[in-house]
Amino acid sequence: MRDDAGDARGGLGTVRNAALLLGLLAAGSGYLQLTELAERSGLSYPTVHRLLRSLTLADLVHQDPRSARYGLGPGLVVLSHRYLSGLPILTAINPYLVQLRDELRLTVEVQVIVGTTLVTVDQVDGSEVGIYRSPHATCPALDRPAGRLLAARLGEPDWQALLDDLEHEAAAEAAARRADWAASEWLHEATRTAGTDEVAVVLTRAEDASPPAALAVATPPRLPEERVAEIVESMMRARNAADRTRGYA
Amino acid sequence: MRDDAGDARGGLGTVRNAALLLGLLAAGSGYLQLTELAERSGLSYPTVHRLLRSLTLADLVHQDPRSARYGLGPGLVVLSHRYLSGLPILTAINPYLVQLRDELRLTVEVQVIVGTTLVTVDQVDGSEVGIYRSPHATCPALDRPAGRLLAARLGEPDWQALLDDLEHEAAAEAAARRADWAASEWLHEATRTAGTDEVAVVLTRAEDASPPAALAVATPPRLPEERVAEIVESMMRARNAADRTRGYA
DNA sequence: GTATTGCTTTCCACATAGTGGAAAAGTAGG
DNA sequence: CCTACTTTTCCACTATGTGGAAAGCAATAC
């Protein structure tokens, strides 16, 4: 079965172009000029202009009236929230997050891997975070232990795409450690950028239809092994309670 | 100036159709059948099919392999996070949220109005929420005091669209109270659905380019006026500190 | 104050991409 | 095995989406 309309395998060109522009706006920091988007996308100025105007009408893009530059739009927030509020794993783990935070006295996060990106989709803040919070954090998946556990559970094409973004040495190390990550229910080691360690526990099962998710807790460096074991145990308990809610025993 | 290509004023038809389907998926609960989407959109089966496949390739839609039904996709989360992480008001208020939560001993939320919808874009949970958390909540704007303050500050077309969604009596009441809401920096009254009261404080200024935002704190009913005044004062202090960060004095 | 430069937006002609009716393929239930 | 419904593909057609050229706009330099 092959639908020729819609450029076999690639989908409708106009939708692909619109999505391309959204991706470019997401990859940039802040607002971009129409000419920059045309250069990076390979599309002409009038085409970029019409696509951006169409996306603006749909509230998916916003044009800064002062600078005429374009950025992502607020309509994306509603769509994303609707998506997240329907994820069974988030609904199931939700009731346990505050209790887990109070028990550990640490900020608890829920991470989801999307493509090669690790996204913080929920968090319950402990008092220890002070003024350094990142409620809408995204980072390359392998930067954090949670991302390593989840990335290792991706299918081959996604795993390969992830490796393609890495330098040779980092890709080799990741490839070497993949089987270990895939076999582990939890991981405690350093993050790449935040200068902290992190304990991560996988939430999702291979048979789940939604993207892989994990719990994550940032910890000080050089935590005693007993303390790590306690944290893992608490996180596992929350995870297992959520599993019972979801019908896994 | 008028660009005929792109159906004057409506943008490109294909982008509009794609956005229409995203909106229908957001409005539904869970996954929808292709035939349902065709019926609600007025588009033909093959058209809906090609649009959905294109959106799926862009990670904005997901097809459940078991039921063949369609739902919103995880790519929306990355785009939304990138959008939110660039909002100046969120960056500015962020460092004060944990301290405010600890001071009030109550959950603190940041609300943003998008169209006629109020969206919780950040929250710092107190211990009082227990197992009833709504981290990705969306609701009609006027259901909550924060939404009332923000909706009253919308332009005429958006305000009108909001009224159109209401029953006649509710619309009349909102119209009667609009001026009062627009003139108030804070509001303390009942929410429509949660069975709680709420204190809300406006965060954004009319001249801000980003969507209107507010701080919100749920409170028990029949709170003494002195306590309400204390809560408002603390929230205003956080708001004013964020304003100084943003260059307003 | 004027000219220049660069960006955004519109105009126009054209070709093909996107559309919908019809048909085929797939799946679940009786 | 048959039926009913849904999803996906095929096919012909035309209206939409494209890009080159031009117009409009705003900021900057002289």
Q: Give residue-wise pLDDT tens across range A177-219.
A: 999 999 999 999 999 977 889 999 999 998 888 899 999 999 9
Question: For residue B92, is it within any domain?
Answer: yes
Number of domains in chain A: 2
Residues of B in contact with A56 (CB under 8 A): 11
Domain encompassing residue B68: 13-76
- At A22 the three-state DSSP class reads helix
Q: What is the CATH number of the domain that holds B135?
A: 3.30.450.40
pLDDT in tens, A139-163: 999 999 999 999 999 988 889 999 9
User: Among candidates B242, B123, B211, which has minimal Cα distance to A72?
Assistant: B211
User: Among candidates A15, A56, A24, which has minimal Cα distance to B56?
Assistant: A15
Query: At CA A134, angle to CA B146 and CA B205, rounded to 5?
Result: 35
| Per-residue pLDDT band at B1 (split at 50, 70, 90) | very low
Question: For residue B29, is it within any domain?
Answer: yes
- A129 and A105, same domain (yes or no): yes
Taking an 8 Å cut-off on Cβ atoms, the answer to whether A6 and B94 are in contact is no
Q: For strand D, is any atom closer than 7 Å to the CB of B80?
A: no
| Residue B24 pLDDT greater than 90, yes or no | yes
Question: For residue A6, is it within any domain?
Answer: no
- A234 and A160, same domain (yes or no): yes
For residues B5 and A26, the model is more confident at A26
Buried b (16+ CB within 10 A) or exposed e, B149-159: bbbbbbeeebb
Which residues, listed in sequence order, are joined to residue B117 by a DSSP beta bridge?
Answer: B114, B140
Q: Is the overall model pTM greater than 0.90, yes or no? A: yes
- A233 and A115, same domain (yes or no): yes
| Per-residue pLDDT band at B221 (split at 50, 70, 90) | confident
- Nearest-neighbour CA in chain A from B101: distance (Å): 9
DSSP secondary structure string, B65-111? TTT--EEE-THHHHHHHHHHTT-HHHHHHGGGHHHHHHHHTS-EEEE
- A146 and A173, same domain (yes or no): yes
- A192 and A214, same domain (yes or no): yes
Six token digits for residue B75: 């790519």
Question: For residue B7, is it within any domain?
Answer: no
Question: For residue B2, is it within any domain?
Answer: no
**Residue that terminates a domain, selected from A55, A75, A95:** A75
Taking an 8 Å cut-off on Cβ atoms, the answer to whether A80 and B79 are in contact is yes
In this structure, the number of other CB atoms found within 10 A of the CB of residue B245 comes to: 16
Taking an 8 Å cut-off on Cβ atoms, the answer to whether A79 and B14 are in contact is no
Q: Which residues touch strand C (CB under 7 A)?
A: A 1, 5-7, 12-15, 33-35, 45-46, 49-50, 52-53, 63, 68-69; B 1-5, 13-14, 17, 43-47, 50-51, 66, 68
| Per-residue pLDDT band at A1 (split at 50, 70, 90) | very low
**Residue that terminates a domain, selected from A43, A75, A107:** A75
- A216 and A100, same domain (yes or no): yes
- A96 and A193, same domain (yes or no): yes
Kindly identify which residue of chain B lies nearest to residue A62, measuring between CA atoms. B210
pLDDT, mean of residues A52-79: 95
pLDDT cut 70: percent of chain B above it: 96
pLDDT, mean of residues A133-137: 90
CA atoms in the 13 A half-sphere facing the CB of A40: 15
Q: What is the CATH number of the domain that holds B27?
A: 1.10.10.10
pLDDT, mean of residues A37-66: 95
For A130, residues 6+ apart whose C-beta sits below 8 A from its C-beta are B95, B98, B99
What distance separates the 2 farthest-apart alpha carbons in chain A?
62
